[in-house]
Structure 1
Amino acid sequence: MKPREALRLALRDFYANSFRLVLVNAALGAILVASVLAALAFPLAAALVLASGPVAAALVHCAVTLVRTGNLALADAWTGLRIHWRRGLELAAAGAALVGLGIVAYRFYGASSLWPLAFLTVYVLVLLGIYELVLWTLAIAEPERGLRGAARAAAVLVASRPGATLLLGLALLLVNVVGIAAAVMPFLTLTVAYTFLATAHFVLPLPSTEETA
């Protein structure tokens, strides 16, 4: 599916299921805000961000379910949390480690004579973030596949459609940046769910008539 079509279908699905998706997105946002506030008071509390992993996995599960079946209930969020909480923790830990290393590298290069590499670090982090979106979707959509297998599948998909994947990722990055700039609330309640929906439409094959019936 082309990025433009994925974005359009995600907007349609989000509008039709906004109440359910906003609730799960808001739960994820609340955990992120709590972890950030705790980290400001006590830096080691930044580890609390890992608690967002299971909720993010539940949100991805909702997106995958909606794309595959055309239907979504609040019970699906609980199902996703129950099934994928461990994988959500693993993915959150991997993502947090990458971001942490990226921040360290950016600060190191930014304060040295190699400061142009700081911009390269940001570029690499953006690319890894786009890859992570694909990885989260495949890892949750195919729980029987190991995490390494999902990582390989995500790499193959990104490598086979680099331009389209980059275009979708940059569009979704813009959506979330706008959400954060608009007093943060849209990001905490809307844009993350929309991001996962658009990625699911882009990554997953089109459902058959029987699956959506």
Structure 2
Amino acid sequence: MVHEETIAILAMGPSRVFCDWNVKEIWSVNNGYKQVQEMHGHISKVFLAHTQVYRRDTKEPVFNWAEMNSLADAGIEIINTHRVKGLKAKIFPMKRISEKFGANMYFSDTVAYMISYALDSNTTGCTKDGTLRLTNSLTLKLYGVDMQETEEYGLEKGGLEYWIGYAQGLGVTVELTTYLQGCNLMRTHNGIPYGNKTYKLKDIDPFGLLKIKHKQGHVEIELNDKTLDGATPATIR
């Protein structure tokens, strides 16, 4: 019988507040475990793609390795792409996973590692010989993966959407928070497919008060005789 697996990938963006804490397997990123504590939630893994880094203003270290080791002692697995002396972490198998999925090392941020790790844990075979397939019925729920900051949107969003598309192509159910909840994933910059009109004239002029004429390379927009409030007909060129 096929096993049903659900994994919540919890990043640090505003939509993290919508996390489904009923999910047993919740994976956090970087210092997100502190936000989880504030929300009285739970996690089973923490993913990192860093050695120690320091804040620009105070020069203080960003990561507290002692705290993370206490998480590891409590049974929470720490997975890092780098080996850090003294940190009780497992090394992310980047090369093996990239080769398995034919991904050309396309990992644009830490969440990309998380999605690919979830796929790796629930698939067998590889892309190269055409044997890659799901071993479990997998659902991925993404929270706090919002891509709101300029650098995230420009440099990281595409890589995440690559792995989301890869997952969906394998038959994985991927649930995202909505744009109104703060998420910009799987969405164009204006929410409209390329080449489509950004508006419908009826939305702007539901009563048909505007009349548009195309004349010798320019557009005339004039108010017709149904103008309201006594306005006089006018032409704008």
Q: Give the TM-score normalised by the residue count of structure 1.
A: 0.26
- The higher relative CO (CA closer than 8 Å, separation ≥ 6) is in 1
Query: Max radius of gyration: which structure?
Result: 2
Q: Give the TM-score normalised by the residue count of structure 2.
A: 0.24
The structure carrying a bigger helix percent of its residues is 1
